[in-house]
């Protein structure tokens, strides 16, 4: 058994059945998977971990996803949008502290006023940092024109999680209407690629009704789409969402956490040169969750630089960490924490996806 497993770890290309064995690994095998993923990361990408300071721009959302705490129908939360000067301050904080890149993430809005505000912010950020701060957007599904305008204004990476690549599961997690359409989301990912963005996607792990086979499909989906970046993490229940009703169906949070780490490690074996984020949802279950992901294949971390007064209102799920810390506090401990994982922070560098660069040379 051990022998078969070690031969899978050494494969150059993987079948669905191989990926399933990796995702089912436990004990010594799981440990060997994590070590192999770390070895690949260190040899292909190196020991640098890159920062993406995340600004949670707004929790106003026109969508109604059944799992998400900031869904439109949740009347219990206070809606906010960070003001322009506050966004600029946060971006300059990231720039001065040599974070290299920021992510602007938001609930989904498509109004002309919203599109224009983001465009103006992107232009200001580019001007104030001499184009030296990398900018990723995570603002959901938009028109081609919008994606193009934002690209022209200075965004160069885009994160849009498919959430689940299985249509049936996707349908179970979203209202059945034009605004929550699987094909539309997929088309957006293809548009982003066409426009020249570095494209990231990802899924939630441990969803009610989700099987290991579904997760294998997710990994193959990412490979097939030839993504440059991935952000994925455990599904975490939120009391004020419809999916909370299905909580009896869930594995324990610890099991979802373990499975998420195995997804990170397996993806690193499957796509050796992409950027993989150690996501905040991991940290919500285990205070050292992100560090653990950095030890088994992840190479990106997203420190929260949202102005403190808004933090508690961007509650996608329960137990979201870091909601009461100011950005500086997070930074001082992060550097030490990352060193302890055997990695170094790539200060002041964009840390673009190696995969994207390799593709461009073809
Ligand atoms: N509106 C943007 C950003 C969404 S929030 C978009 O559509 O892309 C960022 C991510 O948080 C989502 O893509 C989703 O995967 C994750 N998320 C939302 N609710 C969650 C939950 N309950 N548990 C874990 N992750 C969740």
Q: Measured in angstroms, how far is the CA atom of residue 284 from the centroid of ligand 1? A: 14
Q: Which run of H or E residues covers position 61?
A: none
**Quick one: average pLDDT of 67-90?**
97
Compute the distance from residue 3 Cα to the ligand 1 centre, in Å. 39
Q: Cα separation of 43 and 287, whole Å?
A: 27
2-6, 83-87, 244-248, 312-316: lowest mean pLDDT where? 2-6
User: Would the CB of 66 count as within 6 Å of ligand 1?
Assistant: no
Burial 235-269 (b: 16+ CB within 10 A, else e): bbbbeebbbeeeeeebbebeebbbbbbbbbbbbbb
Q: Residue 3: is its pLDDT beyond 80?
A: no
Per-residue pLDDT averaged across 66-90, rounded? 97
pLDDT of 80 strictly over 60? yes
Q: How far is CA 312 from CA 69, 110, 278, 315, 321, in A?
A: 11, 24, 21, 6, 9
The residue behind tokens 């301050």 is 89
What is residue 246's predicted lDDT score, i.e. its pLDDT?
A: 97
pLDDT above 90 (res 32): yes
Residue 317: band (very low, low, confident or very high) from pLDDT cuts 50, 70, 90:
confident
Best of 63, 67, 241 for a ligand 1 pocket test (most atoms within 8 Å of beta carbon): 67
For residues 338 and 328, the model is more confident at 338
The ligand 1 atom at the shortest distance from the C-alpha of residue 160 is 8
Q: With contact defined as beta carbons under 8 Å apart, do 195 and 142 qualify?
A: no
Q: What is the pLDDT of residue 321?
A: 77
- What domain count does the chain have? 1
> Which residues span the domain enclosing 176?
2-360
Return the pLDDT at 319: 79
Percent with pLDDT over 70 in the chain = 96
d(CA 197, CA 107): 20
Out of 69-83, 105-119, 261-275, 324-338, which region has the weakest mean confidence (pLDDT)? 324-338
Q: How does pLDDT run across 156-190, given as a tens digit for each residue?
A: 999 999 999 999 999 999 999 999 999 999 999 99
Distance CA 129, CA 31 (A): 43
CB atoms within 10 A of CB 177: 9
What is the band of 325 on the pLDDT scale with cuts at 50, 70, 90?
A: low
As a whole number of angstroms, the distance between CA 239 and CA 236 comes to 10
| 3-state secondary structure at position 286 | coil
Nearest C-alpha neighbor of 122 from the set 103, 109, 143, 142:
103
- Looking up residue 220, the CATH number of its domain turns out to be 3.20.20.70
pLDDT of residue 292: 97
Can you tell me the mean pLDDT for 151-157? 98
Query: What confidence category does residue 324 fall into, taking pLDDT thresholds of 50, 70 and 90?
Result: low
Is residue 201 predicted with pLDDT exceeding 80? yes
Predicted local confidence at residue 328, as pLDDT: 55
Q: What is the pLDDT of residue 326?
A: 62
Q: Which residues of 13-45 are buried (b: 16+ CB within 10 A; e: fewer)?
A: ebeeebbbbbbebeeebbebbbebbbebbeeeb
Whether the pLDDT of residue 149 is over 90: the answer is yes
Average per-residue pLDDT for the chain: 95
Count CA within 13 A, CB hemisphere, residue 303. Answer: 28
The residue among 171 and 323 whose pLDDT is bigger is 171
Q: Whose CA is nearest to atom 19 of ligand 1?
A: 68
Q: Report the pLDDT averaged over residues 277-302.
A: 96
User: Are 319 and 278 in contact, with CB atoms under 8 Å apart?
Assistant: no
Tell me the mean pLDDT in the region 14-37: 98
Q: Tally Cβ neighbours within 10 Å of residue 361.
A: 5
* pLDDT reading at 275 higher than 60: yes
| Ligand 1: residue whose CA is nearest its atom 10 | 161
Separation CA 287–CA 163 (nearest Å): 24
The predicted structure's pLDDT at residue 359: 85
What is the Cα–Cα distance from 190 to 208, expressed in whole angstroms? 28
pLDDT of residue 318: 83
Contacts of residue 346, defined as CB under 8 A and 6 or more positions apart, other chains included, come to 48, 49, 50, 51, 100
Interval between CA 4 and ligand 1 midpoint (Å): 37
Closest CA to 170 of 214, 201, 139, 138: 214
- Whether the per-residue pLDDT at 294 is higher than 90: the answer is yes
Which mutation among 52, 58, 68 tests ligand 1's pocket best, with the greatest number of atoms within 8 A of CB? 68
Q: 239: CA distance to ligand 1 center in Å?
A: 15
Give yes or no for residue 105 CB within 6 A of ligand 1. yes
């Amino acid at each position: 058994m051990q022998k078969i497993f070690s031969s899978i770890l050494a494969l150059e290309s993987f079948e669905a059945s191989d990926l399933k064995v990796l995702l089912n690994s436990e004990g010594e095998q799981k440990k060997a998977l994590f070590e192999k993923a770390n070895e690949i990361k260190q040899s292909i990408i190196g020991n640098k971990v890159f920062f993406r300071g995340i600004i949670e721009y707004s929790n106003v959302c026109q969508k109604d996803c059944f799992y998400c705490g900031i869904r439109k129908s949740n009347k219990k939360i206070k809606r906010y949008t960070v003001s322009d000067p506050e966004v600029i301050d946060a971006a300059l904080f990231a720039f001065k502290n040599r974070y290299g890149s920021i992510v602007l993430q938001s609930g989904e809005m498509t109004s002309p006023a919203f599109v224009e505000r983001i465009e103006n912010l992107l232009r200001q950020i580019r001007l104030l940092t001499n184009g030296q701060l990398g900018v990723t957007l995570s603002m959901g599904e938009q028109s081609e024109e919008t994606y193009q305008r934002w690209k022209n204004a200075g965004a160069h990476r885009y994160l849009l999680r498919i959430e689940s690549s299985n249509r049936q599961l996707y349908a179970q997690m979203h209202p059945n209407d034009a605004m929550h359409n699987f094909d539309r989301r997929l088309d957006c990912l293809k548009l982003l690629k066409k426009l020249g963005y570095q494209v990231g996607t990802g899924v939630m792990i441990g969803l009610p009704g989700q099987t290991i086979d579904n997760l294998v499909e997710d990994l193959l989906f990412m490979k097939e789409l030839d993504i440059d970046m991935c952000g994925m993490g455990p599904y975490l229940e939120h009391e004020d969402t419809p999916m909370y009703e299905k909580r009896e169906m869930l594995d324990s949070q610890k099991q979802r956490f373990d499975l998420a780490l195995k997804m990170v490690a397996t993806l690193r074996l499957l796509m050796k040169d992409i950027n993989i984020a150690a996501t905040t949802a991991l940290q919500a279950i285990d205070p050292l969750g992100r560090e653990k992901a950095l030890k088994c294949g992840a190479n990106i971390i997203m420190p929260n630089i949202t102005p403190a007064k808004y933090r508690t209102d961007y509650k996608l799920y329960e137990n979201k960490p870091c909601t009461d810390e100011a950005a500086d506090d997070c930074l001082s401990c992060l550097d030490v924490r990352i060193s302890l994982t055997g990695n170094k922070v790539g200060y002041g560098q964009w840390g673009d996806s190696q995969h994207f660069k390799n593709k461009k040379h073809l």
